[in-house]
Amino acid sequence: MVDPLKISASELGEAFENNIIDPVEALEAFFDAIQKSTLTDHIYVEVTKARAVGEAEDARKRQKFNARTGPLDGVPVSWKDLFDVAGHQTTAGSDLLKGRIPTNDCEILKLASINGLVTLGKTHMSELAFSGLGLNPITQTPPCVNDFGAVAGGSSSGAAASVAFGLASAAIGSDTGGSVRIPAAWNDLVGLKTTLGRVSMQGVIPLCRSFDTVGPIVKTVEDAALIFSVLTGNKLVDLKPKPFEGGRLAILKGTALNDLQQKPALAFEESVKALSKFGFKIEEIEVAEVESALALSSLVPTEAYAEWRDEIEASPDLMYEKILQRFLGGRDVLASDYLKATRDLELFKRMYVNKVSEFDAVILPTCPILPPNFERLKSDDDYYVSQNLMALRNTRIANLLGICALTIPTNHPSCGVSIMALPNMEGKLLRLGRAAELAIRK
């Protein structure tokens, strides 16, 4: 008997296709797990039961008449609480938006529904998506699957936890500085950060529109490829034709390899050896423009503060103090400094592409640290600031440079390896990711 909770989204879709299980039975299995779990309230803002049942029943009818809309038709998916779901409160984890109930689904939820995905519920997140840790004392803080005393990673914390704990088949998150990839890595999952503008942000509560992206958190690279095709309305990415033996990978030297904790360092070292053994040609490179981009620390808080200034200034007491301080960090930045930084960043992006275009991809440890302790983050301000900066350090490279990136698990808990490709090269990135998955997870 197939257990829907233990297989990947693509495997569940295959089970539907082969009539091994029907979508309503699978949904009931997830409902049962959600009801019995002691973690549900820490992971889900809301389970959209009535909608999910209706969508699963429709998927069952299509299955019966061999009219499935695609390989994920009937698969239950959770949604981070910044994606508008018609008739359901959507607040991005903040009391600033309490009572906000959209009348329409966001654009990508419409695409998901057309493709038969079942809307299982909405998941907790860092407040207004402005943290890489996932700590949210305002609402709930989901735990890490490998350490219940640690945070799950943010800001798509509940998204990753819903999949890691078997309470969703897949999850949709957002990534402005690492918010898909950090929780994916810390919970031994696959996370895809798409190229800026590749996936619609219509109906998605913004943090920083110049860097906001959408992507899946899933169990396998195949799952990521299937959901990517749904979210973009593009044809399926074929992961089979090019195995990439002999492909060229670059290890990004410099900041990305500095101050790694022991386990992430070992996981990356072993992953590089596995990729080399698999047939990849790997060499280390230095790209000064990466370091220059990382120094532009004012860009995100400045734009984020501009986005939320009115709400924040009207009710700052409704916010978690540490998140509030991050927003206020952008309040006094001069317009001239911000504009110069944006112009400089465009130059760094072009230079980066020129220097790495001879390689198939660039690799680096997804996160230099393991998930930090929940209680210490709440009580120790310096610890919170340092851990948040370290959590985001490597992932934000891809956001600043406007490229796509994928994190895949290693053989060490809560340690991921990231693969970064050029802008709009998600198809190639996913094929590379599938090869790396085969090489590393033996």
pLDDT tens, position by position, 44-82: 999 999 999 999 999 999 999 999 999 999 999 999 999
Tell me the per-residue pLDDT of 111-161, one tens digit each, with 9 for 90 and over. Answer: 999 999 999 999 999 999 999 999 999 999 999 999 999 999 999 999 999
Active-site residue, from 126, 131, 162, 179:
179
Residue 441 has what pLDDT?
81
pLDDT recorded at residue 179: 98
pLDDT tens string 400-434 = 999 999 999 999 999 999 999 999 999 999 999 99
Single out the residue of 156, 173, 177, 131 nearest to residue 401, CA to CA. Answer: 177
- Give kind and range of the element (H or E) at residue 118: strand 118-123
What integer pLDDT is reported at residue 245 of this predicted model?
Answer: 60
- 405: β partners: 193, 420
* Given 8, 10, 131, 155, the catalytic residue: 155
**Average pLDDT for residues 23-41, to the nearest whole number?**
98
Distance (Å, whole) CA 81 – CA 126 = 10
Band (243; pLDDT cuts 50, 70, 90): low
Measured distance CA(416)–CA(103) in Å, rounded: 38
Give the list of residues 6+ apart from residue 1 with CB closer than 8 angstroms, or none. Answer: none
8 tagged catalytic: no
- pLDDT value for 244: 62
Residues 10, 78, 80, 428: which is the catalytic one?
A: 80
Tokens 């990382």 appear where? 294
Distance (Å, whole) CA 186 – CA 416: 7
Question: Which of the 8 DSSP states describes residue 66?
Answer: T
Lowest mean pLDDT among 197-206, 231-240, 328-337, 362-371: 231-240
What proportion of the chain, given as a percentage, has pLDDT over 90? 95
- Residue-level pLDDT at 343: 98
Q: What is the pLDDT of residue 240?
A: 73
Per-residue pLDDT band at 87 (split at 50, 70, 90): very high
Q: Say if CB 8 and CB 2 are below 8 A apart.
A: no
For the question of residue 49 being annotated catalytic, the response is: no
Q: Strand pairing of 281-285 and 248-252? A: parallel
Contact criterion met (CB below 8 Å) for 183 and 104: no
pTM above 0.95, yes or no: yes
Q: Name the phi and psi angles at 330, rounded to 5.
A: -100, 0
Instruction: State whether the Cα torsion 103-109-115-120 is positive or negative.
Output: negative
Q: What is the mean pLDDT of residues 28-51?
A: 98
Q: Give the pLDDT score at 340.
A: 97
Q: Which domains are delineated in the chain?
A: 9-232 (3.90.1300.10), 248-297+337-440 (3.90.1300.10)
Query: Looking at 240-290, which runs of residues are DSSP E strands?
Result: 248-252, 281-285
